[in-house]
Amino acid sequence: MKPQSFYLLTVFFMCLFVLKSQATKVSILENVGAFCRIWIEDSNHKRIAGDGKGHYRVCDTVSYNHIEFSDQEYYIVAKVLASFEKQKRRGPFKGEHYCSIHGEVDSWDFDC
């Protein structure tokens, strides 16, 4: 391997390390007997990570959802499909955080 290639690869991996070290991780315990979607919004309420619009997942088993995104101030938003309750927004947060979504379709809580 030529020395130039070695230096180029070294710089590339250093950049990846720096980008990865600036990531924030949110962990959410999901235990709702329904389909739900959870996403992260920035301070301007624009979605930056998590489930997309209309992308609902099964949230009826006790499992963790881990969402990673760039380090910034953020809000965590949850919505349950076919629920009469409105979506719930928590925050603002900075750094790693843990939340829990639990309950039934029309009686669910989102605790952070």
CA–CA distances in Å: residue 90 to residues 2, 3, 4, 16, 24? 52, 50, 48, 30, 16
Range of the domain at 65: 23-111
- Quote the pTM value: 0.80
Look at residue 21 and tell me whether its pLDDT is greater than 70: no
6 falls within a domain: no
Q: Residue 18: what residue type?
A: V
Share the mean pLDDT of the chain: 86
Q: How confident is the model at residue 85 (pLDDT cuts 50, 70, 90)?
A: very high
Dist. CA 11–CA 86, nearest whole Å: 47
Question: What is the pLDDT at residue 61?
Answer: 82
Q: How confident is the model at residue 10 (pLDDT cuts 50, 70, 90)?
A: low
User: What pLDDT digit, counting tens, does each position of 44-63 carry?
Assistant: 999 999 999 999 999 988 88
Q: Could you give the number of structural domains in the chain?
A: 1
Return the CATH number at 59. 2.60.40.1430
Rg (CA), the chain: 18
SS3 10: helix
